[in-house]
Structure 1
Amino acid sequence: MIDNKTLFSVSQFTRLLNDTFREQFRAVRLQGELSSFTRASSGHWYFTLKDEQAQLKAVMFRPRNVLTGFTPQLGDKVEVLAQLALYEQRGEVQLVVDVLKKAGLGNLYEQFLQLKAKLAAEGLFDRERKKALPAQVFDVGIVTSLQAAALADVRQALARRSPHVRYTVYHTPVQGDAAAAQIVQALQKADAGAHAALILCRGGGSLEDLWSFNTEAVVRAVAACRTPIVVGVGHETDITLAEFAADIRAATPTAAAELVSRPTKDLLNDLDALWATLHGAVARCLEQATQRIDHAELGLVTPSAHVDLLATRLGALQTRLRPLLDDTLKRHAAVIDRHADLGQRLMRQGLRQVSDQLNRHGVALTRASSLCVTGLETRLAQHSGLLEAVSPQRTLERGYAYLERPDQAQVVSSIRNVSRGDSLVARLSDGRLDLSVQTVHPLNDTAIKP
């Protein structure tokens, strides 16, 4: 609360008013008609917003007004989002406008800002991900409408400054509800066309006219291009999100063509410079080679003198070589004799050791074999006696016999297996008896009568 005892200077009070206005009216939506409009050299817009009964002065600074997508005209019905402030130097109340759009356009600009903030947060507009154009471009893909004036501008620019550049046009509508999807398809086709660079362009228009270039699908398609891409849409004041996603933003379609193409005359000048450099380098190489030949000629001798010199050197070498060969052969022969004597001694010593080992092993093997055979014979005799004692033949010789059926050769081991009148065979040690069963007696002597 301000009391009437406080004394303010004018600047103090205007600053207090300004702070109060900004605090109380930091985001105000207004609608009105433009009654004056001025674009300063700094790029800022100054205008008056009025209705039937009142008016307010307004300013929209360049960083904000370049995003509007159109240039206001006197009499335009507009909507603004602004904050109220006091221009202290003049003591005038004014609106500082953040957003300006034509009345009735709905929330297109708000959508623009929201999508821009979203894609910027994803890094889609980051400088680090942008690709540089090749130093020399000879093949360009142009994505636009065949009926667009922008295509004529690009063709004229290429024909005027770079007739050596080839180009392919990928037709797509650039305005309308279905344009965005077709622009995406054309971009993908152009990106697969193995061009050195791409241009996406169209002429100027309102925010609605350019809206296809602000759709998320088109912006992402521009960012996804593997080929360096330049986007030039409308006039210098027309701004679209596709331009933010491009590797390079051109102010106009003509500027886009100029950015991707280097003038033919510059290339020819470069070729001339390269030819002059190459010609000078070849000339220097020839001069140096000629000098080397001249120096080499000074050191040459006649063929006969050269042959005599070689013959003299050959004779000297032969004279030195013979003693060296004789000495080398004698040394090698002595070494071979020493190695032969040593080998014979080692061989004789080895043979004696092997012979001694064989003799020792032979004696041990004979002794072990004799002991093994003796043991086996003893065990064989023991087992033979035991087997002989329990053999069926010895049992029969002691008076025993066994019974079997004559037709089955089956031993009868129990009285329960025979009946009176059965024919049996009794086997003895020296023959057989044919028997007939008269009576069957068990161990308790009670006759069993079948």
Structure 2
Amino acid sequence: MAVRIQGEVASFTKASSGHWYFSLKDEQAQVKAVMFRQRNILVGFLPKVGDKLEALAQVGLYEPRGELQILVDTLKHAGQGDLHERYLRLKTMLATEGLFSQDRKRPLPAYAFNIAIVTSLQAAALADMRRTLARRAPHVRYTLYPTAVQGEAATPQIVAALQQADSAGHEVIVLARGGGSLEDLWCFNEEAVVRAVAACVTPTVAGIGHESDVTLAEFAADVRASTPTAAAELVSPPTADLIAQVDALQRDLRRVLEAALSQRAQQLDRLELGLVTPSAYLQALEQRLTHARAVMQRQLQQALRFANQSMVGCVQRTGRALHGGMNEAQTRNTKVVRLLRQSVDRKVQQASMGLLGQENTLRALSPQRNLEKGYAFLQTADSVVNSVDQVEPGQVLAATLADGQLNVTVRDKTHGSGVPSV
């Protein structure tokens, strides 16, 4: 049956096998405890005499001595039970969201020359990282973004430092801190810090605490390093290795160029063997020219004979065509002239009849015809009289008849209508 025990460490021994043997005591009693290596590597700290711890253990019997002891499964500082539960709840929630998924992990660049380090200026881890970079890769340039790594002020400072580093255009961001207890490292388990790590566009490496210290920020990072020093090694391939790679590439390039030059030289030799002397080349051209001239003369003569034959045939065909065409044209011309004459005669006859009809119509409508019937029309000096209102008694009018004109004097006027019968 599992029991939970709190007490002060009275003695502590770490065996060469890695197992821990210690005693827990309080004001009234003391009990021996053992924690095997496969369990204690997950604790994250090394207990010391005087520490107040809380253990979850099984009660057991050490048979060779007949002593009761507890077999410890988990161990933490007293009062940190709430932190551990918070750790587990937050880990489950963020894992469900996919923040720890391997699918979103990005690989580190093969060669990083500009890195960002987010840690404390006073951290021993920073000194270790600087020594590592100076020893392995002096060519790597790094920028430090200082922040608190423990306490209440650490969380907002770490978030701000990560955001600043992510926007500065670095190739890699290293988040680092030395070892400590769960309480000391708690800021790296805060949700804001974990989300800030996951939100970085720049690839991130987390080297926090020792290998047994696993914070949620490390789960969210693209790569987890066991220690800050290991993180520095991950992002800084040794300068000597880079120089060796450059030398190897240079040797490979030289071999490729030498092989290409040798191949081109062989091709040039083969081309030179195929070249002829200038005199032989000119002689070949002269032979080709003579042959071309003879071919052209034969082709020209054939073309002239063919053209002559074609011309004679064309002239004969043209003569025959012209003779036949002239006869046919003369026949057609005679027929057309006859048709034209007939058409003109019909048109002249139709026009004469039309003119005669119009002449009769004009004669019938002519005022002269009315005058010949005995009518006359009256005029004043200015206009034709068509109303009795235009004249006054005593006025002299001109009366036009069919064969002449009379001057008449108006004696009287009477209004009326109608035309007198003739």
Report the TM-score when normalising by structure 1. Answer: 0.61
SS in 2 for 1:99: strand
Q: How many angstroms does 1:266 deviate by? A: 0.8
Q: How many angstroms does 1:166 deviate by? A: 0.9
SS in 2 for 1:125: coil
Q: Which residue of 1 aligns with 2:145?
A: 170
Alignment match of 1:58 (pick from 34, 43, 47)? 34
Contact in 1 for aligned 2:44/2:210 (Cα 8 Å): no
Q: Which residue of 2 aligns with 1:7?
A: none
Alignment match of 1:125 (pick from 90, 100, 110)? 100
Partner Cα distance (2:115, 2:59) in 1? 50
Structure 2 residue runs without a partner (length 5+): 315-415
* Alpha carbons of structure 1 residues 87 and 245: separation in structure 2 relative to 1, 3 Å: farther
Contact in 2 for aligned 1:59/1:94 (Cα 8 Å): no
Does residue 197 of structure 2 align to residue 222 of structure 1? yes
Q: How does 1:45-124 map to 2 (within 5 A)?
A: 45-51=20-26, 52-60=28-36, 62=38, 64-84=39-59, 94-105=69-80, 107-124=82-99
Partner Cα distance (1:75, 1:326) in 2? 128
Q: Which residue of 1 aligns with 2:118?
A: 143
Percent identity among equivalent residues? Answer: 58
* Alpha carbons of structure 1 residues 53 and 176: separation in structure 2 relative to 1, 3 Å: closer
Q: How many angstroms does 1:201 deviate by? A: 0.8
Contact in 2 for aligned 1:236/1:252 (Cα 8 Å): yes
SS in 2 for 1:135: coil
Q: Which residue of 1 aligns with 2:213?
A: 238
Q: Which residue of 2 aligns with 1:256?
A: 231
Contact in 2 for aligned 1:37/1:45 (Cα 8 Å): yes
Q: Which residue of 1 aligns with 2:275?
A: 300
Q: Which residue of 1 aligns with 2:186?
A: 211
User: What is the count of residue pairs matched by the alignment?
Assistant: 311
* Alpha carbons of structure 1 residues 168 and 324: separation in structure 2 relative to 1, 3 Å: farther
The code of the aligned residue for 1:57 comes to A
Kindly name which structure, 1 or 2, has the bigger radius of gyration based on alpha carbons.
2
SS in 1 for 2:214: coil
CA RMSD of aligned residues (A): 3.4
Report the TM-score when normalising by structure 2. Answer: 0.65
Partner Cα distance (2:63, 2:290) in 1? 113
Partner Cα distance (2:246, 2:65) in 1? 62
SS in 1 for 2:91: helix
Partner Cα distance (1:111, 1:220) in 2? 16
Contact in 2 for aligned 1:199/1:256 (Cα 8 Å): yes
Does residue 134 of structure 2 align to residue 134 of structure 1? no
Q: Which residue of 1 aligns with 2:5?
A: 30
Q: Which residue of 2 aligns with 1:190?
A: 165
- Cα deviations by residue, 1:103-139 (Å, 9 ceiling, x for unpaired): 2345112222222232233332233322211111111
Partner Cα distance (2:187, 2:78) in 1? 20
Partner Cα distance (1:297, 1:92) in 2? 101
Q: Which residue of 2 aligns with 1:313?
A: 288
Partner Cα distance (2:299, 2:20) in 1? 105
Partner Cα distance (2:417, 2:141) in 1? 126
Q: How many angstroms does 1:235 deviate by? A: 3.0
